[in-house]
Amino acid sequence: MLLRLHSSTSALTHRSNRQIRSSIPHHKYFYRTLCAFTDREWDEELSIQPQALDEPDEVHTVPATSRRNKVPDSAPLDLHHLDKAFNGPQKQLKKLCLVHASSGTSLSTPMSALRKIKAWALNHTLDPAAIHSQLETAGVPVSSADCRTCADPCQDGHGEYPSRFTVDMETQMLGSVRPFCRQIMVSTGVTDWDREITRTSGSLASHISSAHRKVAIPHSNANPDLPHIPGIFNASDSAEIAILNGSHKTISDDHQLETILVFPDYVVVSGVPSTWQGAKMLWNSVLDPRIPRILGSTADEAAFSTWVLPYSCVITLCSHKRRDNRCGISAPKLEHEFTHSLQHRGWTVDTQLEHMIESPLEKFNGTNEEKEAHVLETLKELQDDKKALILYNSHMGGHRYAGNCIIYTPRGTSVWYGRVSPHEVEAVVENTIEKGLILPPLLRGGLGLSKQGCKSLHDW
Interface residues toward Zn ion, by CB under 5 A: 150, 154, 156, 158, 423
Cα atoms in the Cβ-side hemisphere of radius 13 Å centred on 65: 11
Rounded alpha-carbon distances, angstroms, from residue 98 to 39, 62, 110: 20, 10, 13
Q: Least distance to Zn ion from the beta carbon of 329, Å?
A: 16
* Contact in structure between 349 and 390 (CB atoms under 8 Å): yes
Cβ count near 154 (within 10 Å): 15
* Contact in structure between 88 and 54 (CB atoms under 8 Å): no
Q: Least distance to Zn ion from the beta carbon of 425, Å?
A: 9
Which residues make beta-bridge pairs with 77?
Answer: 100
Rounded alpha-carbon distances, angstroms, from residue 225 to 134, 222, 234, 453, 457: 14, 9, 14, 11, 19
Rounded alpha-carbon distances, angstroms, from residue 13 to 29, 87, 192: 12, 29, 20
Nearer to Zn ion, 3 or 442 (CB): 442
Cβ count near 66 (within 10 Å): 8
Q: Residues near 258 by Cβ (< 8 Å), separated by ≥ 6?
A: 186, 187, 204, 250, 252, 270, 272, 273, 274, 278
H or E, element range at 21: helix 17-23
Q: Least distance to Zn ion from the beta carbon of 434, Å?
A: 19
> Under DSSP, is residue 429 helix (H, G, I), strand (E, B) or coil?
helix
Q: Least distance to Zn ion from the beta carbon of 157, Å?
A: 8
* Contact in structure between 230 and 174 (CB atoms under 8 Å): yes
Nearer to Zn ion, 258 or 424 (CB): 424
- First-residue to last-residue Cα distance in the chain: 56
Listing DSSP states for 259-327 in one string gives EEEEETTTEEEEEEESSHHHHHHHIIIII-TT-SS-----GGGTT-EEEE---SEEEEEE--TTT-HHH
Nearer to Zn ion, 149 or 203 (CB): 149
Q: Least distance to Zn ion from the beta carbon of 328, Å?
A: 21
Q: Least distance to Zn ion from the beta carbon of 400, Å?
A: 22
Nearer to Zn ion, 82 or 429 (CB): 429
Q: Least distance to Zn ion from the beta carbon of 422, Å?
A: 6
Q: Provide the pairing of β-strand 241-246 with 305-308.
A: unpaired
Q: Least distance to Zn ion from the beta carbon of 203, Å?
A: 38
Closest CA to 313 of 421, 398, 431: 431
Give the separation between CA 352 and CA 184, rounded to whole angstroms.
Answer: 16
Give the separation between CA 343 and CA 388, rounded to whole angstroms.
Answer: 10
Give the separation between CA 314 and CA 209, rounded to whole angstroms.
Answer: 24
Nearer to Zn ion, 158 or 323 (CB): 158
Q: Least distance to Zn ion from the beta carbon of 146, Å?
A: 12
Nearer to Zn ion, 85 or 428 (CB): 428
Nearer to Zn ion, 310 or 403 (CB): 403
Q: Least distance to Zn ion from the beta carbon of 338, Å?
A: 14
Nearer to Zn ion, 78 or 424 (CB): 424
Nearer to Zn ion, 154 or 454 (CB): 154
Nearer to Zn ion, 252 or 432 (CB): 432
